[in-house]
Structure 1
């Protein structure tokens, strides 16, 4: 079973990671979430769950307004050929979240370490990173270094590189 929001928060608390969460109506796109910017400071994320032709999965986390060239990103992230968006079933199986709720924090659900986490380097220019806490009806704010420590705790050492255009 995928971890719940409460289990995610318990994990962050156990690691001594400060976090705050703002509840809001569900948002499914970056455009829908734009109205929250004045309420929640920091870098806001968008996430792409990608799969290559050999079935390898990647979670690419970028700043919300960053653009990425899906025709060439495979050369940057080490994918076998071009990538496409992963199917909702694979997203639930690998990261325990539904479309619209994809988040870097879902690394907690990838206990098999089947997903390569990729962070677009410019996102880490922000001291605070904002991401969904496993569902799209809230936003959790966490410090940049704490996010990296959380990922390490989950067994993920993210690839940090510039993938945005």
Structure 2
């Protein structure tokens, strides 16, 4: 467990400020709100008050072929790991460890975000975005730390992900009704 403690004291490979500067360089306008650290969807719901837009969850998964997946969806979208591999065409899925998360995306549990793709310079992570999520404007994600939330337009999110060298898979799942 010493390794995890070490990762917690290491500086982030990309700071939130560096991320926001990169978005700015790409001509992407965002709005960032500071708040106490949030670790769960429930905490986020309780705190956010009137922040407009789509609120999301981010799942960092690995499959049994050792591929990594970042699944980004609306916070209430059902993602059943025992059947979700069929939805995205992966091998059997499980949650990846905090060590893998740090090694691949350079963020800690509770701060998983599509913005962390800025750190996946080897492009080892497969990106899956929920179609229904992209119908919300703006979308809200942590900018690499969970003590703030950054709002971004869905088309700008796609532009950012592609600028990081990833082509996201947009998948229609988890619609209610």
Structure 1 Cα separation of the partners of residues 47 and 23 of structure 2 = 23
Residue 66 of structure 1: how far off its partner (Å): 1.1
- Choose 38-47 or 25-34, whichever is displaced more: 38-47
Q: Which of residues 42, 45, 48 in structure 1 aligns to 2:59?
A: 48
Render the CA deviation track for 1:85-143: whole Å, top value 9, x for unaligned: 00000000000000010011111111000000100111011021100000110000001
Count of residue pairs the alignment pairs up: 164
Where do 5+ consecutive residues of structure 1 fail to align? none
In structure 2, the partner of 1:127 is: 137
Contact 1:46 1:63 in 2 (8 A): yes
Structure 2 Cα separation of the partners of residues 157 and 45 of structure 1 = 19
Structure 2 length normalisation: TM-score?
0.89
In structure 1, the partner of 2:121 is: 111
Match of 1:111, SS? coil
Q: Which of residues 21, 29, 33 in structure 2 aligns to 1:10?
A: 21
For the aligned residue pairs, the C-alpha RMSD in angstroms reads: 1.1
Question: What is the correspondence of 1:11-26 to structure 2 with a 5 Å cutoff?
Answer: 11-26=22-37
Higher helix residue share: 2
- Answering whether residue 87 of structure 2 is matched by residue 97 of structure 1, we say no
Determine which structure has more spread, i.e. the larger CA radius of gyration.
Answer: 2
Where do 5+ consecutive residues of structure 2 fail to align? 1-11
In structure 2, the partner of 1:146 is: 156
